[in-house]
Amino acid sequence: MSLFFPALASTDTIGTSLNGKRISVSIRSFIPPKMKNNFLTSLSFDETTHYQVDGAEQVFIDCGAFHYVDEKVPKFKKGGYVNARSAIQHYIHRHSNRKNAAKSYLVCSPDHIIPPDMSDIDSKNRTKWTIHVAKEFIELCKEIPNFTPVGVVHGRNKNERLVMVEEYITLGYKYIAFGGLVPIARNESLVLEQIAGISDFTEPKIDKNSPLGLAMLNGCKTHMFGLNSPEWYRWWKRMGVTSFDGSKLSQEGAANGIIWSSNEFDIKSPPSSAKGLYTKTKIKNIGERNWIEGKDGIYELDVKGESILDVQSSGWEFYKDSLCMNNNCKQTSFKHRPDPRTTGSVEHNMGRTIINAHVFEEIMQRIDNLVEIADKSNDEIYDDWRSIGWE
């Protein structure tokens, strides 16, 4: 399984009760163990809450380049100019020096995003700046045992990205991440062409002279920024990408009111894409909702015909046993359990993120299983799941 790092912002918290009082805790307390122990955060956000939960194995930290994408001179959102030394200082003081620090860190060399519509001169200047910083950054990381430097690749096309990959390999980077993909994410063929040189989707092959191909053939681990839907995971798994991250769980769950649920399917007749492995339910389309008073006087939501809350995890059990104590909740007139099938408070909204995280882990396991079956079979029904070889 390619390692997934859920991207956690300072708002990825949920209110729960402790001794009758409301406290705010990181959703790391409730998501699957691998996601709890391996997460991504940015220097643009306050990470404090997420370190209050034990068990961090590996934390991926980016320098927050998306917040200064429109600036000619990169500055951190929280103040100060961006360079190799200032980034290292932030990574140390805000992360690895913490009492409850992670065992290891993947730390991004400061980058400057190159949007698809950027001019030639600005693109060249940003590439030059990013490579210049990367030279000093990797040397500074050699002095810190639990830091793994990550070179971040940008570009408007395959050739520009290839230039950066070549530079990182020369500098000695062993972990290379591909950024700037979110703006073109809806154009699947463009993403795969820029990254892996894939042009034939009937029999896709990784071009050895593509950015991804060159990185992998030189023994580098690879990471994909921001593209973390189940369908993108199908591609990353098939191509052997090491890791990926994203905030889709929070965006679709908490912000957009969508709950994921797994679909049943015949393993001997799999769907053609990961979209067939799950269903998205928009809570705004749920009809009748009734709050029913329990024996303990606490109300629980009754939604007829819905079984989407059948999630098996200790985190989920803790969540269900808590109370919604948010003063802004629409249901403030009575004590009630938080429920992701309604809105009105962070407790309700973030519950959808928790559900989606558990469903996503199940989907990834199913994709892994399908890829394994496909690689052992010559049956054409598995062609959409087979590992992608070299061209």
- Per-residue pLDDT tens digits for 197-233: 999 988 999 999 999 999 999 999 999 999 999 999 9
Q: Check residue 306 and give its pLDDT.
A: 57
pLDDT at position 378: 94
Q: What is the pLDDT of residue 319?
A: 75
Q: What is the pLDDT of residue 308?
A: 63
Tell me which DSSP letter residue 24 carries: E
**pLDDT value, residue 116:** 95
Q: Are 230 and 273 in contact (CB under 8 A)?
A: no
Can you tell me the mean pLDDT for 119-143?
A: 98
CA distance 168 to 170: 5
End-to-end CA distance of the chain: 23
What pLDDT digit, counting tens, does each position of 73-108 carry?
A: 999 998 999 999 999 999 999 999 999 999 999 999
> Binning pLDDT at 50, 70 and 90, where does residue 370 land?
very high
pLDDT in the model for residue 209: 97
Q: What is the pLDDT of residue 94?
A: 97
Cα gap 247→42, rounded to integer Å: 12
Range with the poorest average pLDDT among 77-86, 277-286, 319-328? 319-328
Amino acid at 132: H
Q: What is the DSSP string of 263-324?
A: PP--TTS--SSGGGGEEEEEGGG---EEEEE-TTS-EEEEETT--TT----HHHHHHHTS--
Whether the pLDDT of residue 288 is over 60: the answer is yes
Mean pLDDT over 313-323 rounds to 76
- The residue-averaged pLDDT of 293-307 equals 80
Reported as a pLDDT band with limits 50, 70 and 90, residue 362 is: very high
pLDDT value at position 337?
A: 86
Decide if 354 contacts 338 (C-beta within 8 A). Answer: no
> Is residue 259's pLDDT more than 70?
yes
Mean pLDDT confidence for 16-34:
86
Share of the chain above pLDDT 70, in %: 97
Per-residue confidence band for 22, with pLDDT thresholds at 50, 70 and 90: confident
pLDDT at 304 over 90: no
How far lies 359's CA from each of 31, 227, 253, 271, 313, in Å? 10, 17, 12, 17, 11
**Tokens at 204, concatenated:** 């896709």
Region 2-16 average pLDDT: 93
Gap between the Cα atoms of 57 and 62, Å rounded: 17
Which pLDDT score is estimated for 42?
97
Average pLDDT over residues 367-375: 97
Q: pLDDT (tens digit, 9 = 90+) per residue, 139-167?
A: 999 999 999 999 999 999 999 999 999 99
Q: What pLDDT is stored for residue 307 in this prediction?
A: 56
CA 22 centroid distance within chain: 28
Task: Assess whether pLDDT exceeds 90 at residue 1.
Answer: no
Domains of the chain: 57-246 (3.20.20.105), 258-358 (no CATH)
**What's the rounded mean pLDDT across residues 361-369?**
96
Specify the pLDDT at position 72: 94
Residue 181 scores a pLDDT above 60: yes
